[in-house]
Amino acid sequence: MKRPPRLQRGDVIGLIAPAGPIQDRSVLTKAIAEIEHRGYKVALGRHAAQPAFGYLSGTDHERRADLEEMSTSSDVKAIFCLKGGYGTLRLCTEDIRPILPSAEKIFVGFSDVTTLLLSGFAAHGGIVFHGPMPLFNFEGPECTGQNAETLFKMLQGDTESSLRIDLGGCGYSSTSQDQVRGVLWGGSLSTMTFLSGTNLIAPVNDAIVFFEDVDERPYAIDRYLTRLQLSGLFDQARAFIVGDLVDCLPMPDKPSFTAREVILERLSRYGVPIVFTQAFGHADRMCTFPIGGGATLDCGMGIISLNDSPVS
């Protein structure tokens, strides 16, 4: 698996907003200061902080231009997507592959950015990072900065601790105590579904599939999982890791399954472990998953051990 070079202090990190708009400039200023305090330089996309274009941060052309500029710049060593929202799928109506970061560049985001992460992984086979974004959950629980700290340790390849992802704690449960070896792959459940059936996403052998989502009814989660089942994307799955499902609740006063019940019913047919955790998603905790990284999942302990550093 291709690995991007590790991040070193003094490197330039490009910041782009490929989906929704930045509504509070003070939060952006704070995020830039946080990155610079860690010893990095920041290059802000030319259109990233402009006034909102409806529910987007800019026109499709402007957002594609920022992505292409950061991807092709020899000075920029990593690209952090500032936030999600909606809009990355619109960038794919023209061929997105030529303007995605190469395997030689660190690329970080989650939520709607799943489109770009999985498209990039399918296009060049290099590791990309499903992790916290500067304008959403860099700070983590109680504003400790733990999410960002974990991300940077992994990107710097600093210590052996960066090879260990702890899924445990409040909300952890598993249908199995097994240890499973495979390849980490996943993202936003709804976004993965929207990519299915296109050339922007490809099945992964021996996948440890992880997913999360927000503001989806249980029947919608049923629809997404059923569509992904029909697509064959889960056929080679070795395990499923279900992250935070924030506000994924039944409609009031309507008969329904819970989101958890739907997931267990839809995924049990694969006969592999299903793990539930609050270690990532649209909430406080946000661990970093290197998509494409080989790993062992200890379902009983709730620990993912990476086979190797995801950076070279």
Quick one: 264 and 239 in the same domain? yes
Tell me if 181 is assigned to some domain: yes
Report DSSP state, residue 118.
H
Question: Which of 26, 28, 115 lies closest to 63, judged by CA?
Answer: 115
Q: What per-residue confidence (pLDDT) applies to 76?
A: 98
For the stretch 82-118, pLDDT in tens is 999 999 999 998 889 899 999 999 999 999 999 999 9
Query: For 198-255, how does the pLDDT look when each residue is reduced to its tens digit (9 = 90+)?
Result: 999 988 999 999 999 999 999 999 999 999 999 999 999 999 999 999 999 999 999 9
Quick one: pLDDT at residue 144?
Answer: 66
Last residue of a domain, one of 106, 131, 160: 160
Query: pLDDT tens-digit profile of 275-285?
Result: 999 999 999 89
Q: Is residue 2 part of a domain?
A: no
pLDDT in tens, 183-211: 999 999 999 999 999 999 988 999 999 99
User: Tell me, what's the pLDDT at 174?
Assistant: 94
| Domain membership flag for residue 1 | no
Answer yes or no: do 153 and 34 share one domain: yes
Residues of the domain holding 210: 161-306
Q: How far is CA 239 from CA 70, 171, 252, 266, in A?
A: 34, 18, 32, 13
Residues 154 and 200 in one domain: no
Q: Are the CB atoms for 125 and 1 separated by under 8 Å? A: yes
Task: Kindly report the backbone phi and psi dihedral angles of residue 73, in degrees, each rounded to the nearest multiple of 5, phi listed first.
Answer: -70, 130
Q: What is the pTM of this model?
A: 0.96
pLDDT at 141 over 70: no
What CATH number is attached to the domain comprising 233? 3.50.30.60
SS3 for 4-70, per residue? CCCCCCCCEEEEECCCCCCCCHHHHHHHHHHHHHCCCEEEECCCCCCCCECCECCCHHHHHHHHHHH
CB 84 within 8 A of CB 213: no
Pair (57, 126) in one structural domain: yes
